[in-house]
Amino acid sequence: MKLAIVGTGYVGLVTGACFAEMGHNVTCVDIDAEKVAKLKEGWIPIYEPGLKQIVLRNSEEGRLLFTTSLTEAMENTDIIFIAVGTPSGEDGSADLKHVLAVASGVGDNLSDYTVVVTKSTVPVGTAEKVKAAVCKQLEQRGAGIPFDVVSNPEFLKEGAAVEDFMKPDRIVVGVDSDRSRAVMHELYKDFSRNHDRILFMGVKDAEMTKYAGNAMLATKISFMNEVANLCDRLGVDVENVRLGIGSDSRIGYSFIYPGCGYGGSCFPKDVRALIHTASENDYQSIVLQAVHERNEDQKHVLFRKITARFGENLSNLTFGLWGLAFKPGTDDIREAPAIVLLGELVAAGAKVKAYDPEALEAARDELPSEWFENGQVTLVRHQYEALEQVDAMVLVTEWKPFRHPDFRAMKEMMKQPIVCDGRNQYDPHNLQEDGFEYCAIGRC
């Protein structure tokens, strides 16, 4: 099939590359001419395991093209995916201006029956707005060209997006016609040859499924963080509690790891958007509001533990920070707990040496330049370099290389052998036996 993917961000690029890998002819569209030129040269704007290889391979073999022209991309296209950003507004709502701008462009260029797919995460009812925007442009042209709008939300984990796309747990497709259902089944049938993973439903049902899925996972995280904070006050080891409740098959072990909060481009934005949707429909979302508030507060827990140990004035102290990305396997620092902590440490006068296996470039580009210019923040190229003569090590992102560090070497290079573990990665008893002062969340 011939596909057009509008948007070359995280979702669009992964979607386009993976469809090309399955033999489809894909054209990715972006209005950023510089970005498109770089993509044509083999540059990949995000870190995602396995993505670079399939982009390069399919580009070389001519199945994956990049352009700034929607008109060019839509020539003889069977399906158009809208995969542009939907940033949060100040009130938590999802900003649909980019989605609707693409829809208008589709209406300007439509020449034959096409399925228009919303791949971006959008509120319930967006497909109707997309349809209206396309129809408006067709009416202005005096063209009666048929089309269908389909909702096909993505369920990709950053750090495992390629694997998630190629081997999906489920493929949610919201349709309102037999014709669009047949087209989408043809597109996805090879992704579910072992057993049928395609879940067809109504368009609004699919839009809601995406938000509800992310909100449920966020709820599990915030609930476990609330339990961990209570464990701190009761002298209970939350790790034992986690194992105890996770063994219940109704609960399971996924997403019940306590820590310093969730971040990234999905969970925070989607929870806020669902809260806003509830408010727009005269409904108070009590649970999701609590999930959001718990997470926002959780990002400050590590700083409170640090100041409880060292005092409010950190001017003469240096901290080694392990992890900047919001999770392992990505270079994404959007709404990352590490960035919140870094800002608090800087504001309290501390110096910070920070290391992350993939997010250093993003941090240098996106963090305030004065942090680097005044010497308060130094980005280093090795995890142990971040610990030289520091007063404490703070683990924020649980990258695999951080799981089994050389504690003897750490103790020798650190000014004070203090570990503040924001992801409960280490055994407190072993560390204390090795002469470390150890603090975690729900284990202090």
User: Mean pLDDT throughout 307-313?
Assistant: 97
Whose tokens are 């280490």? That residue is: 426
Does residue 28 have an active-site annotation? no
User: Mean pLDDT throughout 367-391?
Assistant: 97
Q: Packing angle between helix 203-234 and helix 126-141, nearest 10 degrees?
A: 150
- Please check the confidence at residue 209 and state whether its pLDDT lies above 80: yes
| CA distance to 84, 169, 209, per residue, from 195 (Å) | 31, 10, 21
- Please check the confidence at residue 292 and state whether its pLDDT lies above 90: yes
Q: Packing angle between helix 51-60 and helix 10-21, nearest 10 degrees?
A: 60
User: Mean pLDDT throughout 96-125?
Assistant: 97
Instruction: Determine phi and psi for 219, rounding to 5 degrees.
Output: -65, -40
Question: Residue 195: its pLDDT value, please?
Answer: 78
> Measured in whole angstroms, how far is the alpha carbon of residue 136 from the centre of its chain?
34
**324 close to 402: Cβ distance less than 8 angstroms:** no
User: Mean pLDDT throughout 238-250?
Assistant: 97
pLDDT of 14-63, one tens digit each? 999 999 999 999 999 999 999 999 999 999 999 999 999 999 999 999 99
DSSP state of 151: E
Q: How far apart are CA 407 and CA 16, in angstroms?
A: 44
- Please check the confidence at residue 444 and state whether its pLDDT lies above 80: no
Model confidence band, residue 194 (pLDDT cutoffs 50, 70, 90): confident
**416 close to 394: Cβ distance less than 8 angstroms:** no
- Please check the confidence at residue 205 and state whether its pLDDT lies above 80: yes
Which candidate, 232, 228, 229, places its Cα nearest to that of 242?
228
Whose tokens are 């827990």? That residue is: 301
Percent of the chain with pLDDT over 70: 100
Strands 418-421 and 437-440, sheet pairing: parallel
Q: How far apart are CA 113 and CA 371, in angstroms?
A: 54
- Please check the confidence at residue 221 and state whether its pLDDT lies above 80: yes
Q: How far apart are CA 70 and CA 30, in angstroms?
A: 8
Model confidence band, residue 90 (pLDDT cutoffs 50, 70, 90): confident
Residue 101 CB partners (closer than 8 Å, separation 6+): none
pLDDT of 115-134, one tens digit each? 999 999 999 999 999 999 99
Q: What is the pTM of this model?
A: 0.94
**82 close to 101: Cβ distance less than 8 angstroms:** no
Q: How far apart are CA 380 and CA 324, in angstroms?
A: 12
Q: How far apart are CA 237 and CA 179, in angstroms?
A: 56
Question: Residue 193: its pLDDT value, please?
Answer: 80
Residue 43 CB partners (closer than 8 Å, separation 6+): none
Secondary structure element (H or E) that encloses residue 379, with its range: strand 377-379
| CA distance to 255, 289, 394, per residue, from 222 (Å) | 9, 11, 21
Other residues' Cβ atoms within 10 Å of the Cβ of residue 188: 18
Question: Residue 116: its pLDDT value, please?
Answer: 98
Instruction: Determine phi and psi for 330, rounding to 5 degrees.
Output: -145, 165
Percent of the chain with pLDDT over 90: 97
| CA distance to 213, 290, 413, 420, per residue, from 218 (Å) | 9, 11, 38, 24
Other residues' Cβ atoms within 10 Å of the Cβ of residue 65: 20
Residue 134 CB partners (closer than 8 Å, separation 6+): 103, 104, 106, 107, 110, 116, 147, 149
Model confidence band, residue 306 (pLDDT cutoffs 50, 70, 90): very high
Model confidence band, residue 269 (pLDDT cutoffs 50, 70, 90): very high
Q: Which of 18, 28, 266, 439 is catalytic?
A: 266
Q: How far apart are CA 231 and CA 221, in angstroms?
A: 15
Phi-psi region of 335 (alpha: psi -120 to 50; beta: other; left: phi over 0): left
**387 close to 320: Cβ distance less than 8 angstroms:** yes
Other residues' Cβ atoms within 10 Å of the Cβ of residue 71: 12
Tokens encoding 258: 């306590």
Mean pLDDT of the chain: 97
Cite the beta strand spans of 258-366 per DSSP E: 318-322, 351-355
Model confidence band, residue 192 (pLDDT cutoffs 50, 70, 90): confident
Q: How far apart are CA 93 and CA 224, in angstroms?
A: 26
